[in-house]
Homo-oligomer: A and B are copies of this chain.
Amino acid sequence: MDEMFQKNYPLLITGVWVDGHGADIFIDEQGVIQAIGEDVRKQHKGEAEFIIDGDGAIALPGLVNTHTHAAMTLLRGYADDMVLQDWLSQKIWPLEAHLTGDDVYWGTRLACLEMIRTGTTAFNDMYFFMEDAARAVTGMGTRAVLCHGFIDLGNPEKREAECRATEHLVSHIKTLNNPRIRAAVGPHAPYTVSKEGLTWCAEFAAEHTIGIHIHVSETEKEVNDAVAQHKKRPVAVLDECGILTSRTVAAHCCWLDEAECRLFAKRGVHASHNPTSNMKLATHRAMPYPWLRAAGAHVTLGTDGCSSNNNLDMFGEMKAASLLQKFFWNDPTLLPAPEALHMATAAGARALGCGNGTLAAGEPADLILVSSSTACNVPMHNATSNIVYSCNGSAVETTICNGRVLMLEREVPHEKEILAGAQKAATHLVKRAMQS
């Protein structure tokens, strides 16, 4: 079995459910779905080097997490139940000041392990020491779009350093030449990056045709502050600086107004809904999904980092999104299960440029098998409802990314080593912070 994790093979998956129909799936050595349907096993059995017995599992496209800070797994449970500003200034930032590249390596490995276990095959990551994050993702086998969190606080010297760090990361990731790993530009937020910084990010991203990853209008305060400072709302500032593009993922978006939702649709921006984080940190307003939907904007889903969630389970996030939208906008018909699943798959994949996020011939073989012989899927009146409202990530049995098997029957290679390494890194990080 260990052999299977080593490289890509022509792979046949038999006896799974795809959109309510029994099907087999054949994946080629290049990591592409070659065939999917009823008779696939007959046609491709000879070519397959490995056969996975699907045993009636539900096959889904791999889930896509469009906003996280993966290495913050190391801070899981380090500080909770605090006011945002105190939490950042008293707990998170002082600890982060002691982070090393190796910490980010172990934190990102732990994040990948957790994502593989819970069915996420691609994620959009903003943090520091991103070359070490790339090293972790290379080994773990998922897809990732990695960006350096660009923060200049209006300081030109700091801005220069952030530009160089961004250029460096983008050029480093090019040299990796790994189709699973891409770079993006990561202006942290309109309130932490100057207009000059934002404009540089937009131009650099356009020049390299790479993504932009940014926090937008998470809190009411930042919107009010922008209006006080710039006499305009933050989204207008971003648009002036060229940040709003179809390569842009905007996280949170809790306090968008209706006109901003229409502008997002017009510019093709991908909004990343982060309901758990928003509830935990009490943003007091849910992303205006009804307005974004009415405007035809792209809406995706993300967990945010582990210090404001505190896990990376996209199943939990689908449920949280659907529940929060219904509750906040006072409409139990809002964000029904199929839309939540679409946000976590197709919409996410398109936002990160990794295929269409569907199970079809010609698509990248990023897919997961969800057990149907577990209580959360019994009875099976409606598989999509069960996936969104009843199951969590522990129902995922098998995870495949780019045609490579990353988890098989709940076994992920090197799990113990990863857990031990991450625990050690976290313990030492806290020790260093306390000694300083």
Contact = CB atoms under 8 A, between A and B. Distances in A.
B311 A389 contact: yes
A302 interface: no
A276 interface: yes
A267 interface: no
B385 A332 contact: no
B278 A82 contact: no
A381 to B, nearest CB: 4
A375 B324 CA distance: 26
A343 to B, nearest CB: 14
A333 B83 CA distance: 6
Interface stretch (A70-78, A186-194, A291-299, A397-405): A70-78
B81 A310 contact: no
B323 A113 contact: no
A323 B276 contact: yes
A386 B83 contact: no
Given A81-B336, A282-B327, A332-B281, A76 B110 contact: no
Contacts of A423: 378-380
A324 B279 contact: yes
A389 B336 contact: no
Question: Which of A316, A327, A427 has the largest number of chain B CB atoms within 10 A?
Answer: A327
B375 A117 contact: yes
Contacts of A324: 279, 327
Contact of A379 (B316, B320, B422): B422
Interface residues of A, number: 70
A392 B392 contact: yes
A44 interface: no
A80 interface: yes
A50 B382 CA distance: 42
The oligomer's copy count stands at 2
B422 A313 contact: no
B311 A390 contact: yes
Contact of A78 (B77, B276, B381, B426): B381
Nearest to A384: B77
B279 A323 contact: yes
A77 B390 contact: yes
A114 interface: yes
Interface string A56-72: 00000000000000000
A14 interface: no
A171 interface: no
Contacts of A426: 378-379, 381
Interface of A: 73-78, 80-84, 87, 110, 113-114, 117, 276, 278-284, 306, 309-311, 313, 316, 319-320, 322-324, 326-327, 330-337, 373-376, 378-383, 385-386, 389-394, 416, 419, 422-423, 426-427, 430
Given A80-B382, A282-B327, A282-B334, 12 more contacts: A76-B390, A77-B381, A77-B389, A84-B332, A110-B378, A114-B375, A280-B322, A283-B327, A378-B419, A379-B422, A379-B426, A394-B394
